[in-house]
Amino acid sequence: MSNPGPSAAVPAHRLNRPSPTTADKVRFLGIAASYPHGPGTVRVEETHMSWVFLAGSRVYKLKKPVRYPFLDFSTLEAREHFVSEEGRLNRRLAPDVYLGATPLSVDEDGRMILGEADQVVDWLVTMRRLPEDRMLDRLITANALTADTVERLSDRLGAFFAAASAEYPDPAAFVDRYRREQAITSDVLLDPELGFDGARIGPLLERFTESFDQVRPHLEARLSAGRIVEGHGDLRPEHVFLSRSIAIIDCLEFNRDLRLLDPFEELAFLGLECARLGADWVFPLLYRRCAESLDDRPPTDVIAFYWRYRALLRARLSLAHLFEAKPRTPEKWRPLAWRYVVLAERDTVEIIRLDG
């Protein structure tokens, strides 16, 4: 059904007819009969950068032909490369989930085929489908998440970070990235067209800028000490599956620089998202357990910096949807952004909760 990777041999000659559009591909992949393994139904979901097709026991992901400052999926060659990268990188934390790359082709009669044919028109990530009721976000909202399960997750993440090689990006560029990103965040959150409460947002942003100046030496010290690794990059609850074995999917495959980070920034991000869903207790447990397994206890002001930086960034990314020509679910983004702002306003003691 699927090939081991995009390098599999496929005839390269071009057919003398227009290539299918993205809409054509989505329509074809939304039909159960398009899949050789015969799923009963196909559920189609759209994300910011992909179309996802949940087809029985398999999941297929089609990358949109988009280009942003931080990624470029605009060519077939680029999508082929990043489909391969997505599988390679995600096997680090989900070794039996990513099954390879599947070509989407057109045959000599112009019919689309999921598999090899005369002309490859796109590539799809192919995955084993995981039980959705074991997603971390679902467990939180169902009030079914236990401390034992979070400890298992902590141990899995601790082992992953401990095994990762130390990375040494350029210190000035690495630390200044936070300042650059925060400047963009401030511009978005204070944009008068969005109508946010400037009297509330302004002082919060000023306090964060002051905290950056105070914490910068600690960030530089952690880089010098070899605490930066190539991590996951997008460690959110919806990417974590907590069955008998733990699988963590959908790492940030398209930009290595954004995967180079402090493990405790990743943990703070995951804890932030759990807190947004109502599970404030998750991050302190993750922090304590991973601090023990990594023999590393960053200063609490570093942890608070990571938390607030990620909260404000997520507020910005939520609002960014409203700048699109046709935003999906436009009613969702402003309340979500405010939720992140509220989380960014927490003081350090409330974030860490080491006595919890």
CA distance 95 to 182: 35
Query: Which pLDDT tens digit goes with each residue over 275-318?
Result: 999 999 999 999 999 999 999 999 999 999 999 999 999 999 99
Residue 133 CA, distance from chain mean position: 19
* In a shared domain, residues 161 and 90: no
Structure tokens at 266: 């990743």
7 part of a folded domain? no
Three-state DSSP class for 70? coil
pLDDT at position 200: 87
A 10 A CB-CB count for 14 gives 9
Q: Which residues lie below 8 Å from residue 159, measured CB to CB, with a gap of 6+?
A: 293
Q: Which of 128, 158, 178 is the last residue of a domain?
A: 128
A 10 A CB-CB count for 81 gives 16
Q: Token pair 């405790």 is at which residue?
A: 264
* In a shared domain, residues 153 and 193: yes
Q: Inform me whether the pLDDT recorded for 48 exceeds 60.
A: yes
Q: Which of 128, 158, 193 is the last residue of a domain?
A: 128
Residue 238: C-alpha distances to residues 138, 177, 204, 210, 340 (Å): 8, 26, 28, 33, 17
Q: Inform me whether the pLDDT recorded for 89 exceeds 80.
A: yes
* In a shared domain, residues 104 and 147: no
* In a shared domain, residues 192 and 308: yes
pLDDT at position 17: 65
Q: Specify the pTM.
A: 0.90
Structure tokens at 59: 């999941």
CA distance 170 to 7: 33
pLDDT at position 8: 42
- If one compares 325 and 57, the residue with the highest pLDDT of the two is 57
Q: End-to-end CA distance of the chain, in Å?
A: 49
For residue 192, give the DSSP letter: G
The total of structural domains in the chain comes to 2
11 part of a folded domain? no
Instruction: Pick the closest to residue 291 from 127, 119, 155, 124 (CA basis).
Output: 155
Query: Which pLDDT tens digit goes with each residue over 69-88?
Result: 889 999 999 999 999 999 99
Torsion of CA 235, 90, 56, 243, to 10 degrees: -60
Residue 104, beta-bridge partner list = 114, 122
Look up the domain containing 37 and give its range: 22-128
Query: Which pLDDT tens digit goes with each residue over 207-250?
Result: 999 999 999 999 999 999 999 999 999 999 999 999 999 999 99
* In a shared domain, residues 44 and 117: yes
268 part of a folded domain? yes
Q: Inform me whether the pLDDT recorded for 13 exceeds 50.
A: no
pLDDT at position 88: 97
CA distance 221 to 294: 17
- If one compares 13 and 257, the residue with the highest pLDDT of the two is 257
Q: Inform me whether the pLDDT recorded for 196 exceeds 90.
A: no
329 part of a folded domain? yes
pLDDT band at 16 (very low <50, low <70, confident <90, very high): low
CATH of the domain at 236: 3.90.1200.10
* In a shared domain, residues 224 and 342: yes
112-125: average pLDDT: 93
179-205: average pLDDT: 90
Three-state secondary structure readout of 221-271: HHHHCCCCEECCCCCCHHHEEECCCEEECCCCCCCHHHHEECHHHHHHHHH
Sign (positive/negative) of CA torsion 224, 260, 138, 154? negative
